[in-house]
Chain A
Amino acid sequence: MIRFDRVSKRYPPGVDALLDLSFEVSEGQVLLVGGHSGAGKSTLLKLIAGVEKSTSGAVLVGGQNLGGLPTSALPYYRRRIGMVFQDQKLLFDRSVFDNVMLPLSISGFPPREAASRVRAALDKVGLGKREKALPIMLSGGEQQRLAIARAVVGRPELLLADEPTAHLDGDTASDVARILLEFNRFGVSLLVATYAHELFPGGNRLLLDHGRRVG
């Protein structure tokens, strides 16, 4: 499903976020990416999501080398991947419903079918009754679940979650982890950048240190 082949990523000023990184994730697998702050976890997920481009090496997702993907094809590639961003990136002037609707509008779903999909996704994360609320009216855990609903509403083959349980208390955190693992049980490959690997029992682990793989 995913293969990194000696991937490095250097950000413009000269920061090496990832160095010579290789690993593989097969279909339906759970991979937990760990490491200190600044180790390169978010960068790794962004490379898979097509948000950033590797400086060298090959990133292959579903057999597709992302380096060879023309810019015009990138949006269509991104639609196949669900991502929960570290800073969530919710739209605070739009209702919960409209936030989850956004990816479907973007991929041009017929509105009626889209609406029922949005409701199903909100139900799955336990926000079925909050669809009219604005994100600002939600608790931290609820906002995280909203971000998950938005990531999965397009039924992606691959779900990426960047520290989805950070800033959440114990119960709320395990709630969010449980929801993510549930999607994995339906066959979605799951990559989670997290310090809290104990919340995701059974996941494979990849440990980063200053952009290098150390475990």
Chain B
Amino acid sequence: MKAWLSHHRQSASLAWRRLAATPVNSLLSLLAIGIALALPAGGQMLLSAARQLAGTATATPQISIFMGNTVDRAMANDMRSRLEKQAGVKRLQFITREETLARMKAGAGLRDVIEALPANPFPDAFVIGVGDERPEAMEKLAAELRKWPGVEQVQLDSAWVRRLDALLKLGRSALLLLASLLGCGLVAISFGIIRMQVLTQHAEIEVSRLLGATEAYIRRPFLYHGSLLGLGGGLVAWLLVTASTLWLRAPMAELAGMYEINLALKAPDIVESGLLLVFAAVLGWLGAVFSLRQTIENT
């Protein structure tokens, strides 16, 4: 057990020395791997910013109905029972003008403005969830509701959210594709480098076998080498992504401020960073495994 651990340590340091033995080559490989990983990792950061944006609005489609200011509570209650009977309405929420006023007051910045107003400017409103969420069906229902007396405005809240959602789905698929392709690229880079290593270490492999080395013992330094390549590349990718998010943060905040939307680019957090590094190391290791399967078993 102790010997086994000690060999793992030796293998890791041997792999490290082999990397360091050709610094320019190693650096270039790490950079190539790093950039290959930074693309999907950066895309993931953008995507999660966009998802956050979408998350601030409700993704389930709903229809908001605003009543005219002349409508009193009795009429509103009337309206309510009518809506409850209306086909296609699944959920119903009545939001009084007082509630809206209180909520707006609690919100940032607007308190002074609202308190300066002589009367409550907000209308009573209904928010309804629908049974049929297809845009055409919702549009039809909205058109119907617009004709009702006392209704001032009918708004389909979810249209842009759904569009964004669809876009995000596309983005996710595209990202997955990109990550898979570039992941294969990483495996290929590691494969090639380990293959070269096996060829240069040919004598050592042969002699080690003659002196009683097990196959696991012979493979171990190469597996570490591959993992280190992946890990180093992951680290480069992490640096690139973190630096880019920091670089883009200020202009992004400015943009978000203009549109009053919640769009903030985050640097990868500890879990994301860890995942990136582990993922990269595993891919590097995988390249080494394939490479050894192809080279060592034929020597």
| A and B form one complex | yes
Which residues does A use to contact B, with CB under 8 Å?
49, 51, 72, 75-79, 83, 85, 89-92, 102-103, 105-111, 150
Contact A51 B2 (CB under 8 A): no
Q: What 8 new A-B contacts, CB under 8 Å, besides A78-B210, A108-B3, A108-B4?
A: A51-B210, A79-B211, A90-B207, A102-B211, A106-B212, A108-B6, A109-B3, A150-B211
29 A-B pairs (CB sep. < 8 Å):
A49-B210, A72-B214, A75-B212, A75-B213, A75-B214, A76-B212, A78-B211, A79-B211, A79-B212, A85-B210, A89-B203, A89-B210, A91-B203, A91-B207, A92-B203, A102-B208, A103-B211, A105-B7, A105-B10, A106-B211, A106-B212, A107-B3, A108-B3, A108-B4, A108-B6, A109-B3, A110-B3, A110-B6, A111-B6
Complex-state Cα separation, A76 to B212, whole angstroms: 6
Give chain A residues whose Cβ lies under 8 Å from the Cβ of B209. 75
Give chain A residues whose Cβ lies under 8 Å from the Cβ of B6. 108, 110-111
Q: Scan residues 190-220 of chain B and give those whose CB is less than 8 A from a CB of chain A.
A: 203-204, 206-214, 217
Instruction: Using known A-B contacts A76-B212, A103-B212, determine if residue A108 contacts B207 with beta carbons closer than 8 Å.
Output: no
- Which among B10, B206, B208 has the highest number of chain A CB atoms within 10 Å? B208
Give chain A residues whose Cβ lies under 8 Å from the Cβ of B2. 110
- Interface residue total, chain B, C-beta cutoff 8 A: 18
Complex-state Cα separation, A79 to B214, whole angstroms: 11
CB proximity of B46 to chain A, nearest CB, Å: 47
Partner of A106, one of B4, B203, B206, B217: B217
Give chain B residues whose Cβ lies under 8 Å from the Cβ of A108. 3-4, 6-7
Interface string of B1-29 (1 = CB under 8 A from A): 01110110010000000000000000000
CB proximity of B10 to chain A, nearest CB, Å: 7
Contact B212 A89 (CB under 8 A): no
Give chain B residues whose Cβ lies under 8 Å from the Cβ of A89. 203, 206-207, 210
CB proximity of B206 to chain A, nearest CB, Å: 7
User: Which residue of chain B has the shortest Cβ distance to A76 in the bound complex?
Assistant: B212
Complex-state Cα separation, A109 to B208, whole angstroms: 15
Complex-state Cα separation, A110 to B7, whole angstroms: 10
Give chain A residues whose Cβ lies under 8 Å from the Cβ of B211. 78-79, 102-103, 106, 150
Give chain A residues whose Cβ lies under 8 Å from the Cβ of B4. 108
Complex-state Cα separation, A76 to B215, whole angstroms: 12
Give chain A residues whose Cβ lies under 8 Å from the Cβ of B212. 75-79, 103, 106-107
Give chain A residues whose Cβ lies under 8 Å from the Cβ of B204. 91
Give chain B residues whose Cβ lies under 8 Å from the Cβ of A83. 210
Complex-state Cα separation, A92 to B201, whole angstroms: 11
User: Which residue of chain A has the shortest Cβ distance to B4 in the bound complex?
Assistant: A108
CB proximity of A133 to chain B, nearest CB, Å: 18
Complex-state Cα separation, A70 to B248, whole angstroms: 61
Complex-state Cα separation, A11 to B4, whole angstroms: 36
Q: Scan residues 50-78 of chain B and give those whose CB is less than 8 A from a CB of chain A.
A: none
Give chain A residues whose Cβ lies under 8 Å from the Cβ of B7. 105, 108
Instruction: Using known A-B contacts A108-B4, A108-B6, A110-B2, determine if residue A102 contacts B214 with beta carbons closer than 8 Å.
Output: no
Q: Scan residues 203-244 of chain B and give those whose CB is less than 8 A from a CB of chain A.
A: 203-204, 206-214, 217
Complex-state Cα separation, A89 to B7, whole angstroms: 23
Interface string of B173-187 (1 = CB under 8 A from A): 000000000000000
Give chain B residues whose Cβ lies under 8 Å from the Cβ of A105. 7, 10
User: Which residue of chain B has the shortest Cβ distance to A77 in the bound complex?
Assistant: B212
Complex-state Cα separation, A83 to B209, whole angstroms: 13
Complex-state Cα separation, A103 to B212, whole angstroms: 7
User: Which residue of chain B has the shortest Cβ distance to A79 in the bound complex?
Assistant: B212
CB proximity of B216 to chain A, nearest CB, Å: 10
Give chain B residues whose Cβ lies under 8 Å from the Cβ of A49. 210
User: Which residue of chain B has the shortest Cβ distance to A99 in the bound complex?
Assistant: B207
CB proximity of B199 to chain A, nearest CB, Å: 14
Give chain A residues whose Cβ lies under 8 Å from the Cβ of B203. 89, 91-92
- Which among B203, B207, B212 has the highest number of chain A CB atoms within 10 Å? B212
Q: Which 6 pairs between the two chains have the least Cβ-Cβ distance?
A: A108-B3, A79-B212, A78-B212, A75-B212, A103-B211, A106-B213
Complex-state Cα separation, A9 to B6, whole angstroms: 39
CB proximity of B112 to chain A, nearest CB, Å: 75
Give chain B residues whose Cβ lies under 8 Å from the Cβ of A107. 3, 212
CB proximity of A142 to chain B, nearest CB, Å: 18
User: Which residue of chain A has the shortest Cβ distance to B2 in the bound complex?
Assistant: A110
Complex-state Cα separation, A79 to B213, whole angstroms: 8
User: Which residue of chain A has the shortest Cβ distance to B203 in the bound complex?
Assistant: A91
Complex-state Cα separation, A76 to B207, whole angstroms: 15
Give chain B residues whose Cβ lies under 8 Å from the Cβ of A72. 214
Complex-state Cα separation, A49 to B10, whole angstroms: 27
Complex-state Cα separation, A192 to B220, whole angstroms: 34
